[in-house]
Chains A and B, each alone.
Chain A
Amino acid sequence: GENVEQHPSTLSVQEGDSAVIKCTYSDSASNYFPWYKQELGKRPQLIIDIRSNVGEKKDQRIAVTLNKTAKHFSLHITETQPEDSAVYFCAASKRGPGGSARQLTFGSGTQLTVLP
């Protein structure tokens, strides 16, 4: 099955600096890669995603890059703010057997702390 590895497990940056979180996946059939943000005690929420036919996607201060050949993808947050502090999860997704509902395999998460 799919295996997703995420690094680093913790990351501290100064406010205004950039943060980068990296993930690798094992299954070449995975074709959709979402990133979720989970604030303490709250539900995970999708912040950005990318499909395998695109190499990069940007949404304001957040960007995701994908290297299909190397099977890795990264989240980039620029001009970090204290409210960016949270746990970030990457995931890899493919359709289930017989084209059924997508299954997400998550990385282990990165605790990002933005220091004021």
Chain B
Amino acid sequence: DGGITQSPKYLFRKEGQNVTLSCEQNLNHDAMYWYRQDPGQGLRLIYYSQIVNDFQKGDIAEGYSVSREKKESFPLTVTSAQKNPTAFYLCASSTIPGQGTKNIQYFGAGTRLSVL
């Protein structure tokens, strides 16, 4: 089911704490993405990466950080600077232009983050 694994499924953050969400894919996709989903607001892009050791900010990158040390992995850290982190976080991956015409994004099952 999907080839994209997110963990944990549920995560709780204390005030002032950084937490890291894991995303691993075995689809051999070059591009990976992180989205935040809030009720009634759809999905908003946090960060994306199209190659190892390179990533770009999306629309709502403040308070988040990422790394891309391996093609298969794209972890997201929610830092203490993110004042409203409670949301459903979705990771996705795709091929990149030149590897197919559509570059369909496939999603993981998500991590639900709550603040204690």
Cβ < 8 Å to B, chain A residues 79-116? 89, 93, 95-97, 99-109
**A43 CB within 8 Å of chain B:** yes
Q: Which of B2, B50, B104 contacts A49 (CB 8 A)?
A: B104
A-B contact count (CB 8 A): 75
* B40-A9 in contact (CB<8A): yes
Question: Which B residues touch A43, using CB under 8 A?
Answer: 2, 90, 107-110
> What class of interface size applies to chain B in its complex with A?
20 to 34
**B45 CB within 8 Å of chain A:** yes
**A61 CB within 8 Å of chain B:** no
Cβ < 8 Å to A, chain B residues 1-55? 2, 30-31, 33, 35, 40-45, 48-50
* A89-B103 in contact (CB<8A): no
Q: How far is the CA of A4 from the CA of B31 in the complex (A)?
A: 22
User: Shortest beta-carbon distance, B101 to chain A, in Å?
Assistant: 8
Q: How far is the CA of A95 from the CA of B49 in the complex (A)?
A: 13
Q: How far is the CA of A6 from the CA of B42 in the complex (A)?
A: 10
Question: Which A residues touch B49, using CB under 8 A?
Answer: 101
Closest to A49 in B: B102
Q: How far is the CA of A34 from the CA of B106 in the complex (A)?
A: 12
Question: Which B residues touch A45, using CB under 8 A?
Answer: 107
- How many residues on the A side are at the interface (Cβ–Cβ under 8 A)? 30
Question: Which B residues touch A102, using CB under 8 A?
Answer: 31, 94, 96-97, 103, 105
Q: How far is the CA of A18 from the CA of B110 in the complex (A)?
A: 31
Q: Which of A44, A95, A100 contacts B56 (CB 8 A)?
A: A100
Question: Which B residues touch A101, using CB under 8 A?
Answer: 30-31, 33, 48-50, 94, 96-97, 103
Q: How far is the CA of A93 from the CA of B56 in the complex (A)?
A: 16
* 13 A-B pairs whose Cβ atoms sit less than 8 Å apart in the complex: A1-B59, A6-B42, A43-B107, A46-B105, A95-B97, A96-B48, A99-B97, A101-B49, A101-B94, A102-B97, A104-B43, A105-B45, A106-B43
Known interface pairs A43-B2, A43-B90, A101-B48; 13 further A-B residue pairs with C-beta atoms within 8 A, sorted by A's residue number: A43-B107, A43-B108, A45-B107, A46-B106, A89-B42, A96-B56, A99-B97, A100-B50, A100-B97, A101-B97, A102-B105, A104-B43, A108-B41
